[in-house]
Structure 1
Amino acid sequence: MDHTGVVFFDVDGTLVPGTSSSVFLAGFLGHQDELARAEDAYASGDLDNRQVSELDAKGWAGATEEEVSGRLDGLPLVSGIAESVDWCRRNGLVPVLATLAWSPVGSWLTERFGFQTFSGPRLEIVEGRFTGRVARHFDEYGKRDFALTTARELGVDPRSCGAVGDSRSDLPLFASVGVSVAFNASAGAREAATVTVDGDDLRDVLPALSGLLATAG
């Protein structure tokens, strides 16, 4: 085995700073304001993930996979993603996306930056067009379970894993790994994490993950 741990990276609010990939794409799809309000309600606990996902999915109806993929080239991203993925691999840590972002986003980021795999909900597609319905729901507990399953499949103890995230959806995962990094995070995520980091470059979290290397093996 050439790896000693896994690092799980969140997408929305972490790799995508100050917003979410869904809100970004909703600007193209035409329901950005409504979705932004719903995501704020999720963050405060007034809506659950299923409610937000179903609202968002309706806005995708009629769009094609190709149209959405083309828009992702403009997705705002934090600096240092490629370098951080490379650092993980050089240090025996498998970089994985643990996210509630829709699967087209996780797939695009995985291919672009070389993550091992990704999690997330899926939208229903018929003949290359989104129907406006959710094919598979995925919440914060699904994110945690995906991470634990991934670690087990790689033969890695969860205590030798790290998670980098920023919000409510990261809390169950934070409680399940050895090192949790709240990156530009909400108050709740900061309180739950083992380390808090603020910055505009993902490489700012690497010193915290260096601590993980001492516990791995």
Structure 2
Amino acid sequence: MTRGAIFFDVDGTLVPHTSSGRHLAGFLGHADVVQRAEDGYGAGTLTSAEAAVLDARGWASWTPADVHGFLTSLPLIDGIAETLRWCHAHDLTPVLATLAWDIVGADLCRRFGFDRASGPRLEVIDGRFSGKVAEQFDEGGKRDFARAVADELGVDVAHCAAVGDGRSDVPLFGAVGYAIALNATPAARAAAHTSIDATDLRAILPLLDAWLRAVSPPRHA
């Protein structure tokens, strides 16, 4: 029986010090474009949709197989597999709530066992990326995605937690019962219930354990 869900951000959280977009753009050949787009989004001068359009152009003519190969070297925070084992052992469903491209979320779900992932989707025509966005996804969508997942799991979103680091996590932090800002920006820290700096994802487990006991204390005989 699921007691709740934990929503994990990808870029800046599971992928530390950089983003999956920047990592992939280094292989695809438009790293400078993605850097400017992400800086603009972080500063609030670009929307996530505008940043996605700029990034998508650099994917034209590449194949999903190419990108899956590039993702094998994606830098990830330590302790993801162990943290997910803890979640499953405590009947918590781990979910990726992210603005990373859907191919990134799908890859991390396959590798680590996240239940599902959100994210914008790139258009594919005849087996190759067209350079266009097929489906946009923004920070409001991340919050709404979490609410929909909670409904589907049959749990109150107030019995769900979120772990993130930046602007796109702020609406989600306001929706869940417990928000952890991990290696986060000042705005994300201000919106979270607590914050922590760590190089291993397992550092959040004592925080999650204390929260879980508070919202769902063990029964006594």
Residue aligning to 2:210: 211
TM-score (norm 2): 0.96
What is the distance in 1 between the residues matched to 2:47 and 2:94?
Answer: 28
Residue aligning to 1:77: 76
Matches within 5 A, 1:1-217: 2-214=1-213, 215-216=215-216
Shift of 1:62: 0.4
> Which runs of 5 or more residues in structure 2 are unaligned?
none
SS at match of 1:61: coil
Q: How many residues align?
A: 216
Q: Structure 1 residues 32-41 or 14-23, which shifts more? A: 32-41
Instruction: Please report the RMSD computed on the Cα atoms of aligned residues, expressed in angstroms.
Output: 0.8
SS at match of 1:99: coil
Identity %: 55
- Counterpart AA for 1:160: H
Shift of 1:128: 1.0
Indicate if the aligned counterparts of 1:3 and 1:92 stay in contact, CA closer than 8 A: yes
- Counterpart AA for 1:5: G
TM-score (norm 1): 0.98
Q: Which runs of 4+ in 1 moved over 3 A?
A: none
- Counterpart AA for 2:35: A
What is the distance in 1 between the residues matched to 2:117 and 2:216?
Answer: 22
Shift of 1:212: 2.7
Shift of 1:213: 1.2
What is the distance in 2 between the residues matched to 1:133 and 1:112?
Answer: 27
Shift of 1:137: 0.1
What is the distance in 2 between the residues matched to 1:22 and 1:181?
Answer: 23
SS at match of 1:175: helix
